[in-house]
C-alpha cells in the first residue's frame, strides 16, 4: 500500500490496453504508475508530422458494436473526434475496363432489422454474378447460427467454412475478404473461423447498426495518447515514458492464499518499483520475455501467435481526387482508401490527403517505399479518374511489421485470460483472450478486464466509480 493507504498498481505498456487498464485502476482508487518503454504513449496507434502535415502510422477504424472502445473514447473526452457514420455506407469500386470509369457498388444498410438490413445491398452488389449473390445468404445464415463459445470454430479456416457453404472464390475475394481481411488481418483462407465469426456475428448479422463505421478526424496521438495522459494526470497517476521494464519481480516464497507466488513489483532502469499489483499490457512477444515462471503455462508458446503486417500509403494530391470519405476496392491492389485531409491538417482548398490501407500486407511490407508509392498511385488513378490529372505533392509509406497477431486457426488456446498463475499479476493486450481479433476494441476490453481483476484482487471495489464497475461487468462476463 502507498502512504495514502491506496493500493499501488503498476501498468506496463502505454498502448490502448495499458491506458484503459491504468485509467480503470485510477478510477477504482488505486495509486497508478504507467510505464511505457517508448518516448510516446498510444502503442500501435500513433502519428507523426512531416512537412507540416500529420500522418497516422496506419488508418484505424472501429464499428458501432465496439462498445468498450467507445466508452474509452467517452472517458478520455475524444468521442467527438472519431464520429460514427449515421448508417453503414461504403462504396466499393472496381477499375473500369480499358481505363474507363470505375464500376461502383455500395455496401450499405437499410432501416430493416438484422440480418435483412444488408439484403437489398447484397442482392444488387454489382461485383458479383447474380448466382453468387443468391448464395451469400446461405453462408450468412450459417454464420449466424454458429456459437462463438464453440472451441471447434478455431480449428477451421474461415475460407474452408465459406467453401462448405457454397461460396466461390469470386465471392470470397469481392465480398467476404472485404470484411475479414481488415478485421482479422489475414485473408479468409488463412483466418480462424472463430475470429471471423466474431466479427461477422457481432458486427453484421445480429444488430442492424453494429457495423456503422467510425474513425478519427484528428491524428491518432491526439485522439488517444494526449487526452488519456491528461486523464491520468488529473487522476494523480504517474506516467513514465522511456521506461522499459526488464523484469517482473516475485516474492521469494509463496505468499498468496492459493499457494501462488506473488508479484511484488517491476524492474525499470535497473531499479525495483514496488507494487501491490502489476498489469502487463505489452505485445505478446515482449510478454513472452517478461512473464515469470508459472504466470502462463508456457510463455514460449505465445510466439505461436505470430504477426501480421499492415502497410499504409499516404498520398497528398494538389487537388481533390476522392469524392468519398472512405471507399473499398476490388480487382485492385487498393483495399480501402480514406480521405485524411481533415486529420492531416491540410487546407482542403490546397489539395487532398488520402491513406490507402493494406491489411495482411505480407507482400508489401518488404518493398521499397518508392515501389509502393508508384504501385498505389497508379492503382488510385485507375479507381479515381480525377487522380489522373492531379499532381502528387508528397507521399509517405508507413509499415507496421507486427501490426497484429496472426489470426489463424489454433490461436485461441494461446491467448491467456487476464488472471495469471502469479498472484497480483494481470495480463492485457489485444492478443489476450478477448474473443475479438487484435483490434482497438480487444485492447481496451483486455485493459478494462485486467483493471477489474486487479481491483477485485486488491479488495478495492468499494471505491470504484460506477462506470468502471459497469465496464468490468460487461467485459468480464
Ligand X SMILES: Cc1cc2nc3c(=O)[nH]c(=O)nc-3n(C[C@H](O)[C@H](O)[C@H](O)COP(=O)(O)OP(=O)(O)OC[C@H]3O[C@@H](n4cnc5c(N)ncnc54)[C@H](O)[C@@H]3O)c2cc1C
E runs forming strands in 256-334: 263-268, 271-274, 277-280, 308-317, 326-329
Residues 302-321 that bind ligand X (CB under 6 A): 310
Contact between 324 and 317 under an 8 Å Cβ cutoff? The reply is no
Cβ at position 400, least distance to ligand X in Å:
4
Interface residue with ligand X among 33, 47, 57, 332 (CB under 6 A) is 57
Contact status: 13 vs ligand X (CB under 6 A): yes
Q: Which of 351, 407, 424, 429 binds ligand X (CB under 6 A)?
A: 429
Minimum distance from residue 402 beta carbon to ligand X (Å):
8
Binding letters toward ligand X, positions 220-249, x by CB under 6 A:
------------------------xx----
- Using CB under 6 A as the binding rule, whether residue 29 contacts ligand X is answered as no
Give the phi and the psi of residue 102 in degrees, each rounded to 5. Answer: -70, 155
Does 404 engage in binding with ligand X (CB under 6 A)? yes
Sequence-separated (6 or more) residues with CB below 8 Å from residue 66: 214, 439, 440, 441
Residues 188-217 that bind ligand X (CB under 6 A): none
**Stretch of residues binding ligand X (CB under 6 A), selected from 138-146, 200-208, 315-323, 397-405:** 397-405
Residue 268 vs 381, nearer CB to ligand X: 268
- Is residue 423 part of the contact set for ligand X (CB under 6 A)? no
Total of residues contacting ligand X (CB under 6 A): 36
What DSSP string describes 351-405? -EEEEEEESS-TTTTTS-HHHHHHHHHHHHHHH-THHHH--EEEEEEEEEEEEE-
Coil vs helix vs strand at 92: strand
Q: Would you count residue 364 as binding ligand X (CB under 6 A)?
A: no
Q: Which of 326, 328, 324 is nearest to 127 (CA)?
A: 328
Span of 43-51, 115-123, 124-132, 415-423 interacting with ligand X by CB under 6 A: 43-51
Which of 283, 292, 299, 453 is close enough to bind ligand X by CB under 6 A? 283
Asked if residue 184 binds ligand X (CB under 6 A), the reply is no
Torsions phi, psi for 48 (to 5 deg): -145, 165
CB of 283 to ligand X, least distance (A): 5
The alpha carbon of residue 257 and the mean position of all alpha carbons in its chain are separated, in whole angstroms, by 37
Q: Does 35 bind ligand X (CB under 6 A)?
A: yes
Give the list of residues 6+ apart from residue 262 with CB closer than 8 angstroms, or none.
Answer: 250, 251, 254, 255, 256, 422, 423, 424
Cβ 207 to ligand X shortest distance, Å = 18
At 183, list the grid cell.
478485421
The residue behind cell 430493416 is 112
Report, in Å, the least distance between residue 35 CB and ligand X: 5
340 part of the interface to ligand X, by CB under 6 A: no
> Minimum distance between the CB of residue 215 and ligand X, rounded to whole angstroms?
8
**Distance in angstroms (rounded) separating the CA atoms of residues 381 and 316:** 13
For residue 368 the three cell numbers come to 521499397
Q: Compute the least distance from the CB of residue 200 to ligand X, in Å.
A: 15
Residue 197, C-beta contacts closer than 8 angstroms, at least 6 positions apart: 143, 146, 148, 153, 158
Residues forming contacts to ligand X in the complex (CB under 6 A) are 12-18, 35-38, 43-45, 57-58, 60-62, 244-245, 281-283, 286, 310, 400, 403-404, 429-430, 438-441, 443
Amino acid at each position: 500500500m502507498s502512504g495514502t493507504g491506496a493500493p499501488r498498481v503498476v501498468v506496463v505498456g502505454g498502448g490502448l490496453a495499458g491506458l484503459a487498464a491504468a485509467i480503470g485502476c485510477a478510477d477504482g482508487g488505486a495509486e497508478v504508475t504507467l510505464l511505457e518503454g517508448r518516448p510516446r504513449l498510444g502503442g500501435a496507434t500513433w502519428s507523426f508530422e512531416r512537412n507540416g502535415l500529420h500522418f497516422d502510422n496506419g488508418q484505424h477504424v472501429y464499428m458501432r458494436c465496439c462498445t468498450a472502445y467507445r466508452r474509452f473514447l467517452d472517458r478520455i473526452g475524444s468521442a467527438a473526434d472519431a464520429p460514427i457514420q449515421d448508417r453503414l455506407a461504403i462504396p466499393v469500386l472496381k477499375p473500369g475496363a480499358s481505363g474507363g470509369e470505375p464500376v461502383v457498388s455500395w455496401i450499405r444498410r437499410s432501416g430493416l432489422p438484422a440480418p435483412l438490413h444488408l439484403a437489398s445491398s447484397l442482392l444488387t452488389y454489382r461485383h458479383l454474378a447474380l448466382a453468387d449473390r443468391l448464395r451469400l445468404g446461405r453462408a450468412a445464415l450459417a454464420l449466424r447460427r454458429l456459437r462463438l463459445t464453440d472451441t471447434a470454430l478455431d480449428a477451421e479456416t474461415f475460407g474452408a467454412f465459406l467453401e462448405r457453404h457454397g461460396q466461390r472464390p469470386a465471392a470470397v475475394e469481392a465480398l467476404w475478404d472485404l470484411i475479414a481481411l481488415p478485421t482479422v488481418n489475414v485473408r479468409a483462407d488463412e483466418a480462424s473461423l472463430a475470429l471471423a465469426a466474431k466479427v461477422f456475428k457481432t458486427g453484421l448479422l445480429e444488430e442492424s447498426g453494429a457495423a456503422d463505421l467510425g474513425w478519427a478526424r484528428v491524428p491518432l496521438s491526439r485522439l488517444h495518447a494526449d487526452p488519456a495522459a491528461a486523464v491520468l494526470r488529473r487522476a494523480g497517476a504517474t506516467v513514465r515514458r522511456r521506461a522499459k521494464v526488464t523484469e517482473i519481480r516475485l516474492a521469494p516464497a509463496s505468499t498468496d492464499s492459493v499457494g501462488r507466488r506473488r508479484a511484488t513489483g517491476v524492474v525499470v532502469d535497473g531499479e525495483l518499483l514496488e507494487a501491490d499489483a502489476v498489469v502487463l499490457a505489452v505485445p505478446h512477444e515482449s510478454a513472452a520475455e517478461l512473464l515469470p515462471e508459472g504466470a502462463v503455462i508456457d510463455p514460449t508458446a505465445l510466439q505461436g501467435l505470430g504477426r501480421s503486417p499492415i502497410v499504409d500509403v499516404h498520398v497528398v494530391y494538389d487537388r481533390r481526387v476522392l469524392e468519398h470519405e472512405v471507399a473499398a476496392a476490388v480487382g485492385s491492389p487498393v483495399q480501402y482508401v480514406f480521405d485524411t485531409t481533415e486529420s492531416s491538417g491540410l487546407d482542403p482548398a490546397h489539395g487532398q490527403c488520402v491513406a490507402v490501407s493494406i491489411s495482411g500486407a505480407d507482400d508489401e511490407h518488404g518493398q521499397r517505399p518508392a515501389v509502393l508509392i508508384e504501385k498505389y498511385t497508379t492503382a488510385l488513378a485507375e479507381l479515381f479518374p480525377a487522380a489522373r490529372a492531379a499532381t502528387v505533392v508528397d507521399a509517405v509509406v508507413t509499415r507496421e511489421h507486427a501490426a497484429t497477431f496472426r489470426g489463424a486457426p489454433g490461436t485461441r488456446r494461446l491467448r491467456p485470460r487476464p488472471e495469471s498463475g502469479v498472484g497480483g499479476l494481470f495480463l492485457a493486450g489485444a492478443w489476450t483472450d478477448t474473443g475479438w481479433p487484435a483490434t482497438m476494441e480487444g485492447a481496451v476490453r483486455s485493459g478494462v478486464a485486467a483493471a477489474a481483476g486487479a481491483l477485485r484482487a486488491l479488495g478495492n471495489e468499494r471505491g470504484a466509480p460506477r462506470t468502471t464497475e459497469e465496464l468490468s461487468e460487461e467485459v468480464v462476463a
